[in-house]
Amino acid sequence: MLTLRLQHVSLGYGKQTVLHNISFQTIPGEMLGIIGPNGSGKSTLIKGISHVITPSAGHIFLNGLNVASTSRTELARLIAVVPQNPILPELFTAFDTVLMGRTPHLGIFRYETEKDYAIVYTAMQLTNTLQLAQRRTGELSGGERQRITIARALAQEPMAILLDEPTAHLDINYQIETLDLARKLCREQKLIVVTTLHDLNLAAQYCDRLVMLSNGKIHSEGTPQSVINAQAIKEVYGADVYVYPHPLNKLPTTFIAPDKNKHKPAPETKACSQKL
Residues that bind other proteins (CB under 8 A): 47, 50-52, 72-77, 79-81, 83, 86-92, 95-96, 100-101, 103-104, 106, 108-109, 115, 117-119, 121-126, 130-131, 133-134, 138, 154, 156-159, 189-191
Quote the CA–CA distance of 122 and 168 in Å, as a whole number: 25
Q: Given the complex with other proteins, which of 151 and 243 has the nearer CB atom?
A: 151
Contact 35, 197 (CB under 8 A): yes
Spell out the residues 6+ positions from residue 188 whose beta carbon is closer than 8 angstroms to its own. Answer: none
Strand partners, 10: 57
Quote the CA–CA distance of 272 and 102 in Å, as a whole number: 63
Backbone angles phi, psi at 124, to 5 degrees: -70, -30
Q: Given the complex with other proteins, which of 159 and 227 has the nearer CB atom?
A: 159
Q: Given the complex with other proteins, which of 103 and 201 has the nearer CB atom?
A: 103
Q: Whole-number minimum distance, CB 275 to other proteins, in Å?
A: 47
Q: Given the complex with other proteins, which of 67 and 202 has the nearer CB atom?
A: 67
Q: Whole-number minimum distance, CB 165 to other proteins, in Å?
A: 14
Q: Whole-number minimum distance, CB 223 to other proteins, in Å?
A: 26
Quote the CA–CA distance of 75 and 130 in Å, as a whole number: 27
Q: Whole-number minimum distance, CB 236 to other proteins, in Å?
A: 27
Q: Given the complex with other proteins, which of 195 and 205 has the nearer CB atom?
A: 195
Quote the CA–CA distance of 57 and 12 in Å, as a whole number: 10
Q: Given the complex with other proteins, which of 102 and 218 has the nearer CB atom?
A: 102
Which DSSP state fits 101?
A: G
Ramachandran region, residue 251 (left: φ > 0; alpha: ψ -120 to 50; beta: rest): beta
Q: Whole-number minimum distance, CB 233 to other proteins, in Å?
A: 30
Mapped onto helix, strand or coil, the DSSP state of residue 139 is helix
Question: CA separation (Å) from 227 to 34, 223, 249?
Answer: 11, 6, 17
Q: Given the complex with other proteins, which of 133 and 176 has the nearer CB atom?
A: 133
Q: Given the complex with other proteins, which of 182 and 204 has the nearer CB atom?
A: 182
Quote the CA–CA distance of 108 and 155 in Å, as a whole number: 18
Q: What is the DSSP string of 31-57?
A: EEEEE--TTSSHHHHHHHHTTSS--SE
Q: Whole-number minimum distance, CB 110 to other proteins, in Å?
A: 10
Q: Whole-number minimum distance, CB 54 to other proteins, in Å?
A: 10
Q: Whole-number minimum distance, CB 72 to other proteins, in Å?
A: 5
- HSE value, Cβ hemisphere, 13 Å, CA-based, for 15: 0
